[in-house]
Structure 1
């Protein structure tokens, strides 16, 4: 069966998902299957974008008529569309491919969803768009600090600037999502079990480190919600502190470092990285999150009673256990 073949409008409404082969998309398959939801998995078109502003992205999307028509046909009869496609490259450099996947694609899918009469389009973005600010929230304020976070922020801005909005569009800002087999999580486990594991001060700062299970449950809750949902919602906090994360991932207590030392080290590191074209911004951001975390403001999920059960400690413990089986001495 052609994965992009039209959905029969006479059949019961289904959900359409783009990016099902990726980390989040594959986890989303299990969540939706457990809810008995009929899903059509679609292949996302590969796009490139030269624009670096929302108006330019909208102009580029407007000329992709054939791609929009193909997608609209594939979405016919769908009640919900979820875009889990994109490039998750926090340490990558800027490129037309990155902007195409993370900024142009969401606009094209939203336009196609409008044309197909879809009720709700859910786009998975990243809380990285708010950068280094002390807290994350659901406001339009963004402070991207890397090529990846700028591409995600550009996608959000372009979606917000669209004038054709027959379909309800909701952007979910995913936080620092972990999974037992994700390379990012395995790296965290290795660091947490090493002498490098450390926190700033007492390690009581909240962290947005989260589980893929909670994200997919939240995504399903947003997509199925009967009432109005804000245009931007933040994946809810799972209650972990920076020390909690390192204990779960490494099975040991992290070192406590003076806060002034951590701040000074990061300031120097970012200065050097900026001179080298942001080459080390990704690793430095991970170090910053390990030391200081980032608090989250309560948002729509808390108000609507749609906060999923926390799973991050279990995910990190599972990843640590799996690593110990492979490398008992590690």
Structure 2
């Protein structure tokens, strides 16, 4: 179901806060793909990093009021996190369940919908300057373009759980801590299993695009995401409540060529749209079990345009690195016939 989050508009100022680099940053989810990259990137930039284990929460709530009620009851968890956040300048939440093809569960809702609210409440209590929550561009679903508006149209259990986290953060009473949600796109990196799968697919006869292949791709690099997280955290002025990871200037054909070392085959657009139409309907009958693979196929064929946002308006676009990363992974993969 389409949802509209309560807008939280704030003034954008193009300034930086180098003095904040001396204060520690706290990273939750530091053992994961993105969390570990964030820790490494911050340390490389001279920022002290403190890692905190994310509490494992479960949620029975299916709406925002229920999530906020559950968060209010977790006083002990909130107090423990607030103590761990004491003295920190920025909190980065890279924790959660990254299961695009998974089914709905209390654990999924707890990790992706409830946990961000509890962290935000704890950051307020600890006097933290900024809380950065990592969400997913999947919350905007199949629409032709991604942007930084409150519009969400989740299409799967995973995207609904991430949208629930955004919605709950927007609805909670605003505290002294600046809360910013970054909608990450399709993040790739040398150590990610999905990147190796993408490289193998791109080198195979299955590498195809719809039409000319000139559609913009939301495939992005973990290096650029880490740089963007650091920029948002150090920014001294106000940042919008939701910002989108900037586009890295790649087309769907360009991504496959960089990953596979060969040009992808072109398929008629009508054929691709018909195949996806039938696939999603079959998946719906099977409890959305095929939604994850179908979404990846849709992104490979059609990509998704991104509307320029805060990063472009303030000159804070990170250096595009995705094609470089894909080529490096492709170079070390065994040759496929």
TM-score, length of structure 1 as denominator length: 0.94
Please state if 1:53 is matched with 2:59. Answer: no
Decide which of 148, 156, 160 is 1:146's aligned counterpart. 156
RMSD: 0.8
How much does 1:323 deviate?
1.2
Please state if 1:128 is matched with 2:138. Answer: yes
How much does 1:164 deviate?
3.7
The corresponding residue for 2:93 is 83
The corresponding residue for 1:183 is 193
CA contact (8 A) 2:23 2:47 kept: no
Secondary structure, aligned partner of 1:125: strand
The corresponding residue for 2:284 is 274
Q: RCO higher in 1 or 2 (8 Å CA, sep ≥ 6)?
A: 2
Secondary structure, aligned partner of 2:77: helix
CA contact (8 A) 2:57 2:107 kept: yes
Deviations 1:229-265 (A, max 9, x none): 0000000000000000000111111000000000000
Decide which of 60, 73, 84 is 1:74's aligned counterpart. 84
The corresponding residue for 2:219 is 209
Q: Distance in 1 between matches of 2:174 and 2:313?
A: 28
Deviations 1:94-135 (A, max 9, x none): 100001110111000000000000110000000000000000
CA contact (8 A) 1:189 1:320 kept: yes
The corresponding residue for 2:259 is 249
Q: Distance in 2 between matches of 1:140 and 1:56?
A: 20
Secondary structure, aligned partner of 2:89: strand
The corresponding residue for 1:158 is 168
The corresponding residue for 1:169 is 179
The corresponding residue for 1:115 is 125
Q: Distance in 1 between matches of 2:180 and 2:171?
A: 13
Please state if 1:315 is matched with 2:311. Answer: no
CA contact (8 A) 2:138 2:159 kept: yes
Structure 2: which 5+ runs fail to align? 1-21
Decide which of 197, 206, 218 is 1:196's aligned counterpart. 206
Number of aligned residue pairs: give it: 316
Secondary structure, aligned partner of 2:152: coil
Deviations 1:42-78 (A, max 9, x none): 1100000110111111100000010000000111111
Which moves more between the two structures, 160-169 or 142-151?
160-169
Call closer, same or farther: CA 1:207–1:329 in 2, change over 3 Å: closer
Q: Distance in 2 between matches of 1:221 and 1:138?
A: 17
User: Could you list the runs of 4 or more consecutive aligned residues of structure 1 that deviate by over 4 angstroms after TM superposition?
Assistant: none
Structure 1: which 5+ runs fail to align? 1-11
Q: Distance in 2 between matches of 1:93 and 1:329?
A: 33
Deviations 1:204-246 (A, max 9, x none): 0001100000001000100110100000000000000000000
Deviations 1:274-321 (A, max 9, x none): 000001000000000000000000000001111000000011111111
CA contact (8 A) 1:111 1:164 kept: no
TM-score, length of structure 2 as denominator length: 0.93
Deviations 1:16-42 (A, max 9, x none): 110111000111112101110011111
CA contact (8 A) 2:38 2:226 kept: yes
